[in-house]
Amino acid sequence: MHFEEFGKEHEKTIVMLHAANYVHVFAKQYCLADEYHIIVPHLMGYGDETDKTFNTDEQIKTLAEFISSLGKKVALVGFSLGAQVGFKLLAEHPELFTCAVLVSPWLIKDRETLDKVVTANEKQLATFKKKWLCGLIARMNGFTKEQRISFVEQMQKVTPETVRNAVDNGITLESVSGFDKVEVPVLALAGAKEQDFVRDGVKKLSEMNKNCTSEIWEKAAHNIPPMFAKQFNERIRRIVG
């Protein structure tokens, strides 16, 4: 499994699970490497893992084995798809983690909405295949020149199958068991401008587990890590310690 790594000299490790498409969605969190050891695994079908097709169960297994191989518990931070994967990973392997931050996971789903999002994301993928536009999107997301170059090349290899599987990933509040028994601190975040089903799922997490705190950030949409970096980074520091 390919991964980005920063601040290896630090004792505390944070594993960050990225959103669909955007391996470097946590680019504005990389500064935390001054304080923490940060690892960003490339999820199946994205980044340098485009030789694979995203599969939820295989991804959970791979991540659990990788984190276990580190030989110590880690903090978990996930955004969007990464937060959904993180939710399932945390629920099924709580022994691997000291705490977790789950940002904008989509955990309440219905067939009609899933089909609409799959269609929208397939159209978005076609946009990413235009290299100049893909590069512009990367620039707007604050990627460095090196990150922009790799992003453009990686997105040419992402398949429609990965897009469909990443959206229709089978991860919901009902399908995943064990979260109610997680004993480590969990912070669940969503933006007030996100869809109702995202906000409602985040609120539900704190109802399911007394160790989970849910927050809805008033001015935020589906953009907390890049657009609210200062506030978000401080919340990570507070929970990781």
Q: How many domains does the chain have?
A: 1
Give the pLDDT band of residue 141 (cuts 50, 70, 90).
confident
CA distance 148 to 76: 25
Please report the pLDDT score of residue 34 as a whole number: 97
CA distance 78 to 16: 6
Question: Has residue 183 been placed in a domain?
Answer: yes
Question: Has residue 50 been placed in a domain?
Answer: yes
Question: Has residue 137 been placed in a domain?
Answer: no
Residue 87 reports pLDDT greater than 90:
yes
Question: Has residue 10 been placed in a domain?
Answer: yes
* Angle, CA of 33, 37 and 40, to the nearest 5°: 90
CATH code for the domain of 58: 3.40.50.1820
Give the pLDDT band of residue 140 (cuts 50, 70, 90).
confident
Question: Has residue 134 been placed in a domain?
Answer: no
- The whole domain housing 102 covers 3-109+171-240
Residue 142 reports pLDDT greater than 90:
no
Q: What is the DSSP string of 137-173?
A: HHHHTT--HHHHHHHHHHHTT--HHHHHHHHS----T
**For the chain, how many residues are written?**
241
Kindly give the residue spans of alpha helices, DSSP state H, lying in 93-144: 111-128, 131-140
Question: Has residue 48 been placed in a domain?
Answer: yes
